[in-house]
Amino acid sequence: MLHYAVVFFVIALVAALFGFGNIAAGAVGIAKILFILFAVLAVASFVLGMFPRG
């Protein structure tokens, strides 16, 4: 999932470089959502991994 966030960020940079502002803004928004979702799932995984399975 982090890979997709980075891909959308790169797409946003390339779109901004060529002057496509709306496309760049959309790609940045998607990248932010994917990164936040990745961070939440990673923290949940780390927290749940601390407890032993019965």
Predicted model pTM: 0.74
pLDDT digits (tens, 9 = 90+) for 11-32: 988 998 888 888 888 888 998 9
Confidence of residue 4 (pLDDT cuts 50, 70, 90): confident
How many Cα atoms occupy the beta-carbon half-sphere of 35 within 13 Å? Answer: 11
Note the Cα 25 to chain centre separation in Å: 14
Q: How far apart are CA 24 and CA 29, in angstroms?
A: 9
Confidence of residue 1 (pLDDT cuts 50, 70, 90): confident
State the virtual CA torsion across 10, 13, 30, 42 in degrees, nearest 10.
50
